[in-house]
Structure 1
Amino acid sequence: MPVSEKKLRSNPAWIKRHINDPFVKQSVKDGYRARSVYKLIELNDKDKIIKKGMTVVDLGAAPGSWSQVVKEKLMGPDGKIQGRAIALDILPMDPIEGVNFIQGDFREQEVADQLTELLQGEKVDVVLSDMAPNLSGVAAADAARCLLLNELALDFAKENLKKNGAFVCKVFQGSGYSQFVEQCKKLFKKVASRKPEASRTSSAEVYIVARDLK
């Protein structure tokens, strides 16, 4: 029987591991919405992705932890955002002051129109994607779903990034992984694979950091 993500999260072993997870504890202490926040913080510390004055789009943003970091990195000494932070997700997300949130599928025209209005015809500096599908437990099916999201995020980056922009995307090592990396290398001059400390050792996830469109 396939194991859904919802069932996994009701598993006593998963709950115990989650409660005892140091990154979960730290996220609560620091006021972040999810432990995944520390993945972006580490990636940004290493690769200097987000800087004041930039326009940053966060795909699959809910519950909003990555957007919280984007806001912090764009925040000026006066407490105001220098640049623009835009979050998109098909799921609802609690508001974050200073972050523009669009709910919907970014492939749909209505959502694209809202984004175009926010961008006022300009390209963006950074596209972030921490998107992942609901996992079924069937490896081949899950890999295919993950790859589809990766390719959609890459297409979005190709259409919306500035020439010197950066693309950060969660990917899963396995079927289709090497082909996706090659797709990134065809589009970007610099492509690196990162495994942040907050990414569990048992997880096949890694993050692609790609810069400078060809």
Structure 2
Amino acid sequence: PLFPKQHFVLFDGQLTGIDNVISVEYGEEQGAYVAGVLAALMTTRTDVKGINRDKKVGFIGGMDIAVGRNWLQGFQQGVASVDPKIEVLYAFAGSFGDPAKGKELALAQYGQGADVVLHAAGDTGLGVIEAAAEADAFAIGSDANQDSIKPGHVLTSVMKRVDKSLYDVATMHFKGPWKGGQTFMYNVVNDGVVLTDMSVIGNKVPKDVRDKVAKAIEGIKDG
């Protein structure tokens, strides 16, 4: 290493075996699973404005790479755990920085009958959220709290708790012991990946749906 006395942290990646580097990764597939549970429960609730009679939900990824596939597979598994007959439409935009493409793909999925679309597409996902509002349907945000971008049209966001992981690593740096060369995984089990409290969407998400989502989270934590 060029700077062996310095401590480094690699977020959203893995570099093992170097004593002055800690890697932090996030179990996005667990958060996507819970989002799938929520989407599946909501698409059957025709009593909610914005939900149609079609049992379809959607997913928009950025690049068609391993992390995007992890999101998609977790989402599909969550949907299937509620009802395997619910169809999951999906597409990859080919970019994390193209909101116009995200909107185009999402509008196509809403047009095909999806009423809830999860994105894992970076800034491309901003177009997905815009499309949700335009279609009078729903989106699920990712990485950060995106619930207020189009209030009333974002059910929740799957958030990576970067603040939590940064605090933990900073504590290792300042107080020790430094655990260099290791990778630390943050996921639903240890509250490193969480959903928002859905306070912005309010009662558009019925209490029984919230309760079932909470139960799914507890199921993951219990193993």
Report the TM-score range of the alignment, normalised by the length of the smaller protein. 0.3 to 0.5
- Structure scoring higher RCO (CA < 8 A, sep ≥ 6) equals 2
Structure number with greater Rg is: 2
TM-score using structure 2 length: 0.44
TM-score of the aligned structures, taking structure 1 as reference length = 0.45
